[in-house]
Structure 1
Amino acid sequence: MGLTADICDEHKDKVVLADPIFQHYGQITTFSGPVHTVNVFEDNVLVKRALETIPEGSVLVIEGGASQRYALMGDNLAAIAQNRNLAGVIIHGSIRDAGEINEMPVGVYALGTTPFPSIKKGEGEKDIPLRFANVAWEPGFWVYADEDGILVSETELQL
């Protein structure tokens, strides 16, 4: 069984299932870790900064306003996540360079792809509560993601 199925068997009352709106990119399909958040719209300056500074093993959760016009992550930012050993990235928005990202040992869930690069204004917020995909994404909550779905828990769960 997969990670999320095992968690649901053991801790169903402690998790919330995100709506199944995400596509998977990268070679890592299963990941878990504590949530760090960024709230941006078509601007990935704060995304890059977060990827460069959040702790190893973390999951960066990005509220991108569901925009599919401009990519919030490409292969260069995915390489930062890879090199810093981040657990994964969940984007309520789009990525680009999907072919390259799919060849990398990273785990990314996003709404889809676009070839357009992001805007570079540096606008947005970090480390704030977010809400999308019918889930509250709070800094410090835990994410468990695999091919079966994405679960969010207020605490780390043991199997």
Structure 2
Amino acid sequence: MSQSIQTADLCDANEGKVAVVAPMFRSFGGRSAFGGAIATLKLFEDNALVRKTLETPGNGRVLVVDGGGSMRCALVGDQLGELGVKNGWAGIVVYGCIRDSKALSGMDIGVFALGTHPLKSIKRNTGEAELPVTFGGVTFVPGHYLYADEDGVIVSASALL
């Protein structure tokens, strides 16, 4: 789906039907454009649930991780990126940090995050899955759709492609 995603064109063609996330993300994955149905996690400085989720079939979905905007550790790295590729996830959007950015840039998965941090997260298995999460002025609802490219991230209640 990545080749046909152009968020500017999708915004123009679906005026009033898309929400635009505040420009805060950098692209780190090998796919600069990606999209799919949303799966969500809400957690803070603990990525055990990210691993558990990426170990399941992605079926072209996008994992949205509300990490509370923490810039104190990474929630996704190369091992989790490899899991995402292996299990068919289209992308991962992290409201927080990632690490192993060089390795992630060579993987066939979209990865957007606020920045990088070399420190790994704790593993207490805390957090929640499949609930609406809000950041960047947008609420991400499981089952809605996210599209991302070099111009930004947009969300829609229904598929646009």
Give the TM-score normalised by the residue count of structure 1. Answer: 0.96
The one-letter amino acid paired with 1:51 is: L
Moved over 2 A (4+): none
Count of aligned residue pairs for this structure pair: 158
Partners of 2:109 and 2:61 lie apart in 1 by: 12
The equivalent of 1:72 in structure 2 is 75
Tell me the CA shift for residue 9 of structure 1.
Answer: 1.8
Partners of 1:64 and 1:2 lie apart in 2 by: 26
Pair 1:31 & 2:34 matched: yes
* Structure 1 residues 20-66: Cα deviation after superposition (integer angstroms, max 9, x where no partner): 10010021011110000000100000011111125310000000010
Match among 112, 121, 126 for residue 123 of structure 1? 126
Partners of 2:104 and 2:40 lie apart in 1 by: 21
Task: Please say if residues 141 and 155 of structure 1, whose CA atoms lie closer than 8 Å, have aligned partners that are also in contact.
Answer: yes
Partners of 1:138 and 1:54 lie apart in 2 by: 19
Give the TM-score normalised by the residue count of structure 2. Answer: 0.94
Q: How does 1:1-159 map to 2 (within 5 A)?
A: 3-158=6-161
* Structure 1 residues 67-125: Cα deviation after superposition (integer angstroms, max 9, x where no partner): 11111000000001111121100000000111111122221000000000010000000
The one-letter amino acid paired with 2:39 is: H
Tell me the CA shift for residue 157 of structure 1.
Answer: 1.5
Partners of 1:85 and 1:59 lie apart in 2 by: 10
| Runs (5+) with no aligned partner, structure 2 | none
| Runs (5+) with no aligned partner, structure 1 | none
Task: Please say if residues 34 and 142 of structure 1, whose CA atoms lie closer than 8 Å, have aligned partners that are also in contact.
Answer: yes
Task: Please say if residues 40 and 132 of structure 2, whose CA atoms lie closer than 8 Å, have aligned partners that are also in contact.
Answer: yes
Task: Please say if residues 2 and 148 of structure 1, whose CA atoms lie closer than 8 Å, have aligned partners that are also in contact.
Answer: no
Task: Please say if residues 32 and 87 of structure 1, whose CA atoms lie closer than 8 Å, have aligned partners that are also in contact.
Answer: yes
Task: Please say if residues 36 and 54 of structure 1, whose CA atoms lie closer than 8 Å, have aligned partners that are also in contact.
Answer: no
Tell me the CA shift for residue 2 of structure 1.
Answer: 5.5
